[in-house]
Amino acid sequence: MKKDVYIFKSGELRRKDNSLVFEGEEKRTYIPVEAVERLHVFGKVSMNTDFLEIVSKHKIIINFYNYHGFYIGSFAPRETKISGYLTIKQAEKYLDPDERRYLATSFVEGAIFNMKRNIRKKESNSQFLQEVEDLEGQIYRVQTIPNLMGIEGQIRNIYYTALSYLIKNEEFDFEKRTKRPPLDPVNALISFGNSMIYTTALAEIYKTNLNPTISYLHEPSEKRYSLILDVTEIFKPLIVDSLILKLINGKILTLKDFDIEDNFTYLNENGKKKFITYYEEKLNSTIKHRKLNRKVSYRGLIRLEYYKLIKHIIDDQTYKPLKPWW
């Protein structure tokens, strides 16, 4: 079974016959190429065209992260599954104001459902739940995408306030969401987790015929795969935020797992390893899908979301965002 491989040290990645080798300061590690699904590079790593040729041949995506652990870009094999027909249909949905608004609203609807699911974990959070629901009704009445995103932003601010009341570990203090830079450990976890869910969703979209640059909630951009940003709105509260609460409240992570430099808080290597261990465990855990009547992993749910979107785009079945029933 193929798996994700994480490189935290600095060194060189190279090809050795038909396998991969990581040469670090401390040791040499052989990586069977047939066993790799994705490579995640957190250290300063060099590689050459021979190495890129073999990973491309085996359709391995390489995700790169900066010193603080935040995603900066990917090397992906030449696209082989992009469908011209589907790309045209995606563009048609984007250019149709009603269709674009419907899909954008659906992504927000799914995100709100999962945010409310987390808020309900504490009974005394009923006030925040009511505030969210008061705003939620407005998402179906707005006429523009910026207004929709404005309402979603207000709801997310309420949600993050509610999230602070779900933290039971006195070591961790969380007042508000700060991104550039994250000012405290909880914000560092949210930013790191959002980077990880983005790369996970990136890998899954490459298994479909979708064009990742044509999106509906986020404006299409030359600099990023904006359709992934649309879909991950649904999964950030479901996967990332619930995992953060588990790691903090279960005291799996401590303040020793973070470093602070010039008001920039980030996970250190030990903290990243802990997070990724539990993140992979979460992605690989399964639920019984009530429609497919079989077990599906959380990673598989992301891919299923793309397939549902494809059915909508080709006018086969109306898209409905994932709303957990378990």
- pLDDT recorded at residue 281: 97
pLDDT at residue 222 is higher than 90: no
Q: Sorting pLDDT into bands at 50, 70 and 90, what band is 202?
A: very high
Tokens of 101: 């608004």
Q: Is the dihedral of CA 20, 80, 226, 289 positive or negative?
A: negative
Q: Is the dihedral of CA 98, 103, 109, 112 positive or negative?
A: negative
Helices marked H in the chain: 49-57, 84-95, 97-119, 126-136, 145-166, 185-205, 226-235, 242-249, 269-284, 298-313
> For the segment 156-166, what is each residue's pLDDT rounded down to a tens digit?
999 999 999 99
Mean pLDDT confidence for 112-121? 96
Q: What is the pLDDT of residues 37-56, one digit of tens each?
A: 999 999 899 999 999 999 99
What is the pLDDT at residue 130? 95
Residue written as token pair 């588990």: 246
Query: Whole-prediction pTM value?
Result: 0.92
Looking only at the bridges linking them, the beta strands covering 19-24 and 3-7 are: unpaired
Q: Is the pLDDT of residue 122 over 90?
A: no
Q: What is the average pLDDT value for the chain, to the nearest integer?
A: 93
Asked if pLDDT for residue 226 goes beyond 70, the answer is: yes
What mean pLDDT do residues 214-229 have?
88
DSSP state letters, 254-316:
-GGGEEEETTEEEE-HHHHHHHHHHHHHHHH-EEEETTTTEEEEHHHHHHHHHHHHHHHHTTS
pLDDT over threshold 80, residue 119: yes
Residue 71 three-state SS: strand
pLDDT of 53: 92
> What pLDDT is stored for residue 155 in this prediction?
97
Tell me which residue of 116, 64, 125 sits closest to 237, measured CA to CA: 116
Report which secondary-structure segment, H or E, holds 45.
Answer: strand 45-46
Kindly state the average pLDDT of the residues 21-32: 88
Per-residue pLDDT of 84-105, as tens digits, reads: 899 999 999 999 999 999 999 9
Residue 243: per-residue pLDDT: 98
Residue (of 281, 237, 274) closest to 257 by Cα position: 274
pLDDT per residue as tens digits for the range 234-275: 999 999 999 999 999 999 999 999 999 888 999 999 999 999
Q: Please check the confidence at residue 285 and state whether its pLDDT lies above 90.
A: yes
Residue-level pLDDT at 291: 86
119-123, 222-226, 310-314: lowest mean pLDDT where?
222-226
pLDDT at 79 over 70: no
Please give the pLDDT value at position 5. 95
Reading the block at residue 180, the tokens are 């550039």
